Amino acid sequence: MAKQQRILMVEDEPELAHIFASALEKEGFLVDLVKDGASAFEYLSKKAKPDLVLLDLVIPQIDGYAVMQRLGKDKVKNLSVYAWSNLSQDNEIKRAKKLGAKEYLIKSEYTPTKLVDKVKELLNK
């Protein structure tokens, strides 16, 4: 039996988190949810490595950029961190990628089904 893949979703909007996490879980993924940057940093610093991280950038306590900065670019890339935000300006996208995000996903462009498909695609790269 194949190992279930673990997704860390960092999302401070409870409704969005529930909708997207439920869709991923229905497809067999294990989803860990955290709602702020401090919890995300602690999780990524201490716990088992998730297969993929969806990191919101505008979150309480410390933002997603600061989470990536504190972890360091090499660790961010090694953790397969994907920026997950509604910010869509070029400078925001460039900033996230410079800090090590593998890709920048604009939340408003994703339905739960599209996100599941995208996560499967990213994990198969």
pLDDT of residue 1: 45
CB 86 within 8 A of CB 66: no
Segment 54-69, tens digit of pLDDT: 999 999 999 999 999 9
Name the residue range of residue 88's domain.
6-123
Kindly give, in sequence order, each residue whose CB lies less than 8 Å from that of residue 33, ignoring residues fewer than 6 positions away. Answer: 9, 10, 11, 17, 21
Q: Is residue 54 part of a domain?
A: yes
Q: Is residue 1 part of a domain?
A: no
- Residue 24, domain CATH: 3.40.50.2300
Q: Is residue 10 part of a domain?
A: yes
Q: Is residue 79 part of a domain?
A: yes
pTM of the model: 0.93
Structural domains in the chain (count): 1
